A and B are shown apart, each in its own frame.
Chain A
Amino acid sequence: MPETTTALLTASLVDVARLGSGLGAVYRALDLVVDGFGLDDAALVVEVPGLGHQVLHAGRRPIGDDVAHLHDAPEGLHTQPPIDEPVVAELLLALGALALRYDARPDPSGTALPGHSA
Chain B
Amino acid sequence: MSLDELELELRRLRGVLAVGFQEADGLLLVELQAGPDAYPEMARDATLIANQGAVGPVAVEVVRWGDRASAPRETRLRLVEITNDPAVGELQVRLALGDDEGVGRASTDHGLLAPVEATIAAIRAFLPELRFLPGWARLVETTPDRRFLVVASVTDPDTQEHRRGAAEGASPVAGATRATLAALNRTIAQDLAPLL
Interface residues of A (CB under 8 A from B): 20-21, 23-24, 51-57, 60-66, 70-72, 100, 103-104, 106-107, 112-117
Q: Which of B12-20, B87-95, B113-121, B127-135 forms part of the interface with chain A?
A: B12-20
Pairs A–B under 8 Å by Cβ, sample size 20: A21-B2, A52-B17, A53-B17, A54-B11, A55-B18, A60-B20, A61-B21, A61-B22, A62-B21, A63-B33, A70-B18, A106-B12, A107-B12, A112-B12, A113-B45, A113-B48, A114-B45, A115-B41, A116-B13, A117-B14
Interface members, chain B 1-38 (any A CB < 8 Å): 2-4, 7-8, 11-22, 29, 31, 33, 35, 37
A39 smallest CB distance to B (angstroms):
18
Q: Which residues of A contact B16 (CB under 8 A)?
A: 51
Mostly, the B contact residues are mixed
B42 CB–A CB distance under 8 Å: yes
The A-B contact count (CB < 8 A) is 87
Which 7 A-B pairs rank lowest in CB-CB distance, beginning with the nearest? A62-B20, A62-B31, A55-B18, A21-B4, A116-B12, A23-B4, A113-B45
Residues of B within 8 A of A24 (CB): 4
User: Which B positions have Cβ atoms within 8 angstroms of A?
Assistant: 2-4, 7-8, 11-22, 29, 31, 33, 35, 37, 39, 41-42, 45, 48-49, 61, 63, 65, 68, 166, 182, 185
Give the CA-CA distance A21 to B109 in the complex, in Å.
50
Q: Which residues of A contact B182 (CB under 8 A)?
A: 64-65
Selected from A62, A63, A64, A71, the residue in CB contact (under 8 A) with B35 is: A71
